[in-house]
Amino acid sequence: MAMMKMKIYGYRLRALLSTSLSSSPFHSVPSRTFSSSSFENVGFIGLGKMGSRMANNLLKAGYKMTVHDVNCNVMKKYSDMGVSTKQTPFEVAEASDVVITMLPSSSHVLNVYNGPDGLLQGGDLLTPQLFIDSSTIDPQTSRKLAVSVSNCILKEKK
Residue 2 lies in a domain: no
Beta carbons within 8 Å of 64's beta carbon, 6+ residues apart: 40, 41, 42
Give the range of the structural domain holding residue 53, as residue numbers without chain letter. Answer: 42-154
Answer yes or no: is pLDDT of 104 > 50: yes
User: Per-residue pLDDT averaged across 104-132, rounded?
Assistant: 87
User: Per-residue pLDDT averaged across 64-90, rounded?
Assistant: 97
Kindly report the length of the chain. Answer: 158
Residue 5 lies in a domain: no
| Local confidence band at 42 (pLDDT 50, 70, 90 cut-offs) | very high
Residue 7 lies in a domain: no
| Local confidence band at 112 (pLDDT 50, 70, 90 cut-offs) | very high
Secondary structure letter of residue 43 according to DSSP: E
Q: What is the pTM of this model?
A: 0.75
Answer yes or no: is pLDDT of 31 > 70: no
| Local confidence band at 126 (pLDDT 50, 70, 90 cut-offs) | confident
User: What span, in angstroms and rounded, lies between the C-alpha atoms of 51 and 144?
Assistant: 22
